[in-house]
Amino acid sequence: MSLRKSPTRTPAWLAANRSNAKKSTGPRTARGKAQTRMNALRTGARSRLRQGLWSALLNAPPGKVEAWAQAIMTPEMVWNEHLREVAEIVIQAERESAEHFHEICSRYQGK
């Protein structure tokens, strides 16, 4: 339990917060916008790119997962450790056991 007294929310304080919030518009430069697009890849777990990669590799024809991964992944995707890990897990799962492929992949997909 904190011993610090919470601040009193005066009308002036609330007005200042609203005013400051209006100033926050996000990145304005092309470089800043490009950087924020990459934020989803920082953890990677919920990125659309990672989910799409999982889906594409899981739907690859039997025995063709590694070839599909090489065809799908761009140099930027290979550079990203989270996406590279997805490809490695799916490829390894197929190598180890084609019959339990989807079972093995489903264990890792939520991570």
Q: State how many domains the chain has.
A: 1
Digit-coded pLDDT (tens) for 55-102: 888 888 878 888 888 888 888 778 878 788 888 888 888 877 766 666
Model confidence, pTM: 0.48
User: What is the domain range of residue 48?
Assistant: 44-111
- Reduced to 3 states, what is the DSSP secondary structure of residue 13? helix
Note whether residue 15 is domain-resident. Answer: no
Q: What is the DSSP letter of 98?
A: S
| Cβ-based neighbours of 27, under 8 Å, separated by 6 or more | 33, 35, 36
Residue 62 lies in a domain: yes
Cβ(54)–Cβ(33) below 8 Å: no
Examine residue 76 and state whether it is found in any structural domain, yes or no.
Answer: yes
